[in-house]
Structure 1
Amino acid sequence: MTNVKELLEDYGIDRFLEYVGAEKIRKIGDNFRSCCPIHGGDNSSAFSYHNGYFTCFSECDRNYSPIDILMIVFSLSYPEAKKRLEKLFGQEIENEDTSEITYENLENKKFIQDFKKLKESQKQEENTEFCLNDLATYQKITHEYLINEGFSDETRQFFDLRFCDKGIMRDRVVIPIDDKNGKIIGIAGRSIYDFRLLELTGQSKYFFSKGLKKSNTLYNISRADRYSDYLIVVEGYKSIWRLHEWGYDNAVALMGASLGDKQLKLLLKFNLPILISGDNDKAGKNLQREVVGKLSRYTPVEEFPIEKITSKENDSIAEIKKGDFEEWTKKIMGKYPKKILF
């Protein structure tokens, strides 16, 4: 016998949702959203699949297994729903613990708790602007978001990452952004919540301080080692942090999937060959082509083939292995001469 999660994902989440009558089914990343087949309605984000369970955000804030859904939608007993699911999947499945089917004893408990917390924080949010330069107002901690992403306390200290627990930056990792001289010119706030929660509550992954123009600088420009043999250019912050942990401080981030004119000039001032790595999605590929097109006439530009390392859409350097990065980087950039330091 095989567990329901494995069979469900092999069968296809979208096919199962169609079978139980869900409408407006759409795929976002590795997950699926739809209207709730239990409560109905027109909200195409009301029903969400994650790790073997479906979560309803329409009315009840509960998790449902596939058998739960069949029992409710088709008015079946547990044995009848299990038998129908086995026929649908073409294989026997393990029995579920039906002693108390509530979200409190399921894996998605934290997800639903976070959702409620985020919704509540929106109601209580202070309409105050956050301070640009006085970072002392934010906590010097390594938040569990950074730990779960595999970043060390040393990385937090090196980049002076902090955490805010109030105001419009509530529940965000605070990222100082400076210019080439090290002067802080703005702050980015990265939400600690899952993208599904942000979508459901209408919040952005990032908030930025008022007046900040990301296209006027490059993230990590003041720390980037100008004595390196080449410069690594990436999209986002996490890739910079990961590269630092691997010992690569010759990297800057565009903080987005486009190259501004001022950023172009800043890159050329390094006077180094460039290795560009966008994320493994359409925007990332477009970014790589843009950087090559705009810079290759002035300096050597090579593209990092992240699609040969990971098949996951949206993956960046932050999600791949150090060995894979080093192997490909050596192949690509090894042809350029080493700098001779006196």
Structure 2
Amino acid sequence: MNDFLPEDTIEEVRQHFDLVEVISGYTSLKKAGRNYTGLCPFHSEKTPSFTVSPEKQLYHCFGCGAGGNVFSFIMSQENLSFPEAVKFLANRAGIPLPERQLSEEGKKIKILKEELAEINELSMKYFRQALFKTEMGKKALSYLTGRGLDKEIINKFQLGYSLPQWDKLINFLKSKGYSQDNILKAGLASRSERGSYYDRFRNRIMFPIFNQQNMVIGFGGRVMDDSQPKYLNSPETILYNKRKSLYALNFARFQMRERDQALVFEGYMDVIIAFQKGLENCVASLGTSLTEDQARLLRRNASKVIIAYDSDTAGEAATWRGLDTLSSAGCRVKVAQLPPGQDPDDFIRKKGINTFHEEIVKKALPLIDYKL
């Protein structure tokens, strides 16, 4: 984007914002003479070493050396490239940006991404309607409340329910003008050997997966009985790449940065119950082995990472696979150990979040000790 955005447009976006006001949305600042000071949002500290100059519209941390203007700040805090940061701020300011001259193929990809994003957003709303407004959804809602979730947390994570019929969602989306092919490309439909389309997710609790800009990029679906597979996730799509995604990072990143610590769970429910109880620096790895991309995402938001996977064999194997990946990315890694047969969700619901923090998080073993 930078090579087709005029410099005067970039400057217009920069001048629109007061850096003090922008940064105050991420950390508390206090007036100190001609400048403002506060705790650095880039590293953990107890004594403020972060300074913002309203006159120069620049910031600098005397502790970690971070510095720059409104664009570099947003790039770091929102994990965006420079062009994405310009667009992010321009959208907030209501400043129109010139369209990039795309190739015909580029235009097709852009249009497809936009349509798949619409399909995902509409499907999330459909699943939520099914959860709260249908008779069959009452069973799913009862399941969630039986697992200890309240309505506030269900709404925060936009949980829903997929009806058991084979083509309910497909027919709904088709009625809104979307093609079966694009519903398939969004990962919400499957196609039989005979070429017929059917809903990928049926009779499952639905967990929307968001990117860091709060766009729905995929879904996870969980059964409410012993049928298999227990979890079914979206396939890889033009929007969703599991290797580059962390569930709930859009919610957790601010607490991760403030505490300079991230808790990595295995499952959706582990994260949601922890959030409900006030532990908001946790994410799920959307699989049993952390990738290099996921490790880099974690390191950008926190230097200390605690892996708290399930205590079963699969969890232990997943922990081993992820440890070296995290360490190579520059994270200081610890491993939390849960009682046999328990996952974080079980432990938190039975013993409470304070006990989980004291007995599991605080007693997590450093990497070298865990390997011994």
Relative to the length of structure 1, the TM-score reads: 0.52
Q: Which amino acid aligns with 1:133?
A: E
When residues 305 and 209 of structure 1 are mapped into structure 2, their CA distance, relative to the original with a 3 A threshold, is: closer
Aligned partner of residue 133 in structure 1, secondary structure? helix
Among 142, 145, 148, which residue is 2:146 paired with? 148
1:136 lines up with 2:125 in the alignment: yes
Q: Which amino acid aligns with 1:311?
A: P
When residues 279 and 334 of structure 1 are mapped into structure 2, their CA distance, relative to the original with a 3 A threshold, is: closer
> 1:305: Cα distance to partner?
1.1
Hey, what does 1:311 align to over in structure 2? 340
1:223 lines up with 2:251 in the alignment: yes
Q: Distance in 2 between matches of 1:326 and 1:262?
A: 27
Hey, what does 2:230 align to over in structure 1? 205
Q: Which amino acid aligns with 1:144?
A: S
Hey, what does 1:181 align to over in structure 2? 213
Q: Distance in 1 between matches of 2:313 and 2:161?
A: 31
Hey, what does 1:214 align to over in structure 2? 242
> 1:209: Cα distance to partner?
3.1
Aligned partner of residue 121 in structure 2, secondary structure? coil
Q: Which amino acid aligns with 1:220?
A: A
Show CA shifts across 1:202-251 (max 9, x none).
x4222333424322200001011232241100111010011112201100
Show CA shifts across 1:67-109 (max 9, x none).
xxxxxxxxxxxxxxxxxxxxxxxxxxxxxxxxxxxxxxxxxxx
Hey, what does 2:308 align to over in structure 1? 277
Q: Distance in 2 between matches of 1:150 and 1:171?
A: 20
Q: Distance in 2 between matches of 1:295 and 1:209?
A: 25
Q: Which amino acid aligns with 1:247?
A: G
Hey, what does 2:202 align to over in structure 1? 170
Poorly superposed stretches of 4+, deviation over 6 Å: none
Q: Distance in 2 between matches of 1:271 and 1:244?
A: 18
1:244-283 correspondence to structure 2 within 5 Å: 244-283=275-314
Show CA shifts across 1:18-66 (max 9, x none).
xxxxxxxxxxxxxxxxxxxxxxxxxxxxxxxxxxxxxxxxxxxxxxxxx
Aligned partner of residue 186 in structure 1, secondary structure? strand
Q: Distance in 1 between matches of 2:274 and 2:307?
A: 13
Aligned partner of residue 227 in structure 1, secondary structure? helix
Hey, what does 1:109 align to over in structure 2? none
When residues 268 and 229 of structure 1 are mapped into structure 2, their CA distance, relative to the original with a 3 A threshold, is: closer
Greater shift after overlay, 180-189 or 245-254? 180-189
Q: Distance in 1 between matches of 2:323 and 2:230?
A: 28
Aligned partner of residue 301 in structure 2, secondary structure? coil
Hey, what does 1:7 align to over in structure 2? none
Structure 2 contact 265–285 (Cα < 8 Å) conserved: yes
> 1:156: Cα distance to partner?
0.3
When residues 190 and 131 of structure 1 are mapped into structure 2, their CA distance, relative to the original with a 3 A threshold, is: farther
State the Cα RMSD in Å.
2.4
Structure 2: 5+ residue runs without aligned partners? 1-117, 133-139, 168-198, 367-372
Q: Distance in 2 between matches of 1:281 and 1:287?
A: 10
> 1:253: Cα distance to partner?
0.4
Aligned partner of residue 296 in structure 1, secondary structure? helix
Aligned partner of residue 239 in structure 1, secondary structure? helix
Structure 1 contact 233–274 (Cα < 8 Å) conserved: yes
Structure 2 contact 260–302 (Cα < 8 Å) conserved: no
Among 270, 281, 285, which residue is 1:239 paired with? 270
Aligned partner of residue 275 in structure 2, secondary structure? helix
Structure 1 contact 180–217 (Cα < 8 Å) conserved: no
Aligned partner of residue 244 in structure 1, secondary structure? helix
Richer in helix (by share): 2
> 1:174: Cα distance to partner?
1.3
> 1:334: Cα distance to partner?
12
Structure 1 contact 302–332 (Cα < 8 Å) conserved: no
Structure 1 contact 230–273 (Cα < 8 Å) conserved: yes
Structure 2 contact 267–285 (Cα < 8 Å) conserved: yes
